[in-house]
């Protein structure tokens, strides 16, 4: 690993620790030449995921695009950025665990809705309205009633 300060190709590892999600390693290094310390991260490279859109078009999975869409749905709610990042990481991990190189966008949308339904009902309805392309107020009403019925059933079991 090249030193970030003097560009020397020689450094030694002082400390290695797994990163929070357990899918990578944080290494604290010291340059042999200039003696400055720096941190590197290692993560296993995964095969890219191809998303098959509703119109049949294929695109590379874009984690940042997913994050932006969820952030829009969560605007003016109490959902924190860390919870959204965690959700996006879980969805990405689950997509890799599907074991397919190509995944339909419908599966990704359903995963997002499942997470948002548990996290925040307003964010869920916002996302669902765009994802399912709600055409009128009646469709909103039906989705909200369905959400309320689901929540009432959960609350009555508690």
Report the distance separating Cα 69 and Cα 75, nearest Å: 10
Q: Residue 144 pLDDT more than 90?
A: no
Q: Residue 151 pLDDT more than 80?
A: no
pLDDT in tens, 6-52: 999 999 999 999 986 677 899 999 999 999 999 998 887 788 999 99
State residue 37's pLDDT score.
97
Q: Any idea which residue has 């397919």 for tokens? A: 100
pLDDT in tens, 55-84: 999 999 999 999 999 999 999 999 999 999
Tell me the mean pLDDT in the region 104-128: 92
129-132, long-range: CB < 8 A, 24+ apart: 130/69, 130/73
Q: How confident is the model at residue 150 (pLDDT cuts 50, 70, 90)?
A: confident
State residue 158's pLDDT score.
59
Tell me the mean pLDDT in the region 101-108: 94
- CB-based burial, 68-91: b 16+ in 10 Å, e otherwise: ebbeebbeeeebeeeebeebbeeb
Q: Kindly compute the dihedral angle of the four CA atoms of residues 60, 65, 70, 76, in this order, to the nearest 10 degrees.
A: 180
Q: What is the DSSP string of 13-48?
A: EEEEEE-TTSSEEEEEEEETTT--EEEEEEE---PP
- CB-based burial, 113-146: b 16+ in 10 Å, e otherwise: bebbbebbbbbbbbbbeebeebeeeeeeeebeee
């Amino acid at each position: 690993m090249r030193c970030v300060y003097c560009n020397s190709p020689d450094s030694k590892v002082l400390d290695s620790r797994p990163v929070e999600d357990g899918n990578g390693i944080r290494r604290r290094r010291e340059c042999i030449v200039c003696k400055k310390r720096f941190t590197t991260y290692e993560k296993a490279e995964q095969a890219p995921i191809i998303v098959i859109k509703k119109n049949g078009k294929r695109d590379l999975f874009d984690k940042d695009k997913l994050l932006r869409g969820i952030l829009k749905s969560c605007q003016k709610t109490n959902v924190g950025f860390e919870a959204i990042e965690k959700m996006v990481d879980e969805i990405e991990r689950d997509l890799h665990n599907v074991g397919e190189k190509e995944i339909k966008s419908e599966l990704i949308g359903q995963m997002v809705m499942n997470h948002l339904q548990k996290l925040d009902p307003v964010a869920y309805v916002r996302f669902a309205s765009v994802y399912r392309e709600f055409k009128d107020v009646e469709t909103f009403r039906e989705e909200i009633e369905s959400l309320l019925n689901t929540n009432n059933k959960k609350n009555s079991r508690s």
